[in-house]
Structure 1
């Protein structure tokens, strides 16, 4: 039996969901480097009843910490596309933050290639557009420098940053994710047909304003940018503002009940 819930729970290794049987739109979220599905746990009770939350859990983090992270983008996207098929029915959008935005974009292209329905809208957060220049690569930094960069970006609680055991487990996953996406070059495919909304912090050193406007070249549909006060993890500081924007831009989609 389907149960209405504001709690995000694991349904499969890749899919965590806060079920809302009466919803008419599904928001599928992709976490940033090193992070897991519970990054979006606080979103579930904040979303309106019409929007059901799904978050993707990748190998190498949280309850999947013992599994090796992917080292190539193509296999990752293929596996995620297959794993998400049960939740890709009806009206849905993707939200991805940082590396998660790159994954959401590549998945949207893969769904098109496979002839499958794609997202009603892409919300791409804190990620430079393909081909953007001037973004410093971090994956090949020495250990101490890489650690300092990760802590400096924010998103890691002070308590975790002080825990050597936890950081020793987290940093290899972070480096693997940065290596995966910093070395990736997206194929020069035709633009998508779904609208793209780009979100970023106005003080984000990883996605400065001049690096995100190029996303407009990846869609034939509506495009817009929204900047929030803050840095790379602006969305952790003001989730209500981000959710309000997502709700405004998705609930106008054609009413098709999620499968």
Structure 2
């Protein structure tokens, strides 16, 4: 791998747990960094170690170059995660982070390792078209309006022109990254998949979540929460309970139960 990729390896924010049974690697939505999961360690039992992944160009790495493609992003993350893949682990990704988690799982399969579970949130399965414009092609004004409509950013951010000027290139670069990505069909994973989303999310409708069933030969379930694209901001504790229960087997398995609405 070129030295440049190694130099731009993603940051890993790890909430160390001495008695961990499983690591949950978390991949944020477009434009976000590790701070998207800052509250998560307090929501999970001590057996689950939260590891947040932050790509170059985000948050305190805003001055660094963004990955030029999903393939490069996957290679970067694979390098960064290599020291942490001992023992049981799982992936959670939201929106574009869900696609990154999925593509990373496919790449790791070729290296002889796999996550024990994939939690894919706020993202329809590849090939499941949604009636939504590609945001990265919009003007700055329309792009900002579309972001506001997703309800994942505080109004104070949009009210600060200087802050928006700083954030827009990062946000646009991420939406360009994921909206330009073209899925390459391959054999389904053998990893259990749980698809998650909000019941009023136009970018990840329930049928798009259910379509993830085709990407695994393992167990599949879908969990639907009240809310839109950023349902997890209001249902963090409930979401953590689903993830922890699945990872630690504290409830009868979610696998095979189909869609459940909360």
TM-score by length of 2: 0.89
Offset, 1:252? 2.9
Q: Secondary structure at the match of 2:39?
A: helix
Residue in structure 2 matching 1:152, options 149, 153, 158: 149
Number of matched pairs:
241
- C-alpha distance in 1, partners of 2:75/2:124? 23
Deviation by residue 1:66-101 (Cα, 9 ceiling, x = unmatched): 112112111110111011111111001100000000
Match of 2:260 in 1: none
Residue in structure 2 matching 1:68, options 65, 81, 84: 65
1:233 aligns with 2:192: no
Offset, 1:135? 3.7
Q: Which runs of 4+ in 1 moved over 2 A?
A: none
Match of 2:122 in 1: 126
Match of 1:4 in 2: none
Offset, 1:169? 1.3
- C-alpha distance in 1, partners of 2:54/2:48? 19
State which drifts further: 134-143 or 63-72. Answer: 134-143
Structure 1 unmatched ranges of 5 or more: 1-11, 254-259
1:242 aligns with 2:239: yes
* Pair 54,66 (structure 1): closer, same or farther in 2 beyond 3 Å: same
Match of 1:82 in 2: 79
Match of 2:162 in 1: 165
- C-alpha distance in 2, partners of 1:223/1:166? 41
Match of 2:19 in 1: 22
CA contact (8 A) 1:123 1:197 kept: yes
* Pair 60,135 (structure 1): closer, same or farther in 2 beyond 3 Å: farther
- C-alpha distance in 2, partners of 1:134/1:97? 17
TM-score by length of 1: 0.90
Offset, 1:148? 0.2
CA contact (8 A) 2:130 2:203 kept: no
1:52 aligns with 2:49: yes
- C-alpha distance in 2, partners of 1:164/1:237? 27
- C-alpha distance in 1, partners of 2:117/2:103? 14
- C-alpha distance in 2, partners of 1:18/1:118? 22
Structure 2 unmatched ranges of 5 or more: 1-8, 251-262
Q: Secondary structure at the match of 1:45?
A: helix
CA contact (8 A) 1:14 1:84 kept: no
Deviation by residue 1:145-203 (Cα, 9 ceiling, x = unmatched): 11100111011112112111111111111111111111111211100011000000000
Match of 1:197 in 2: 194
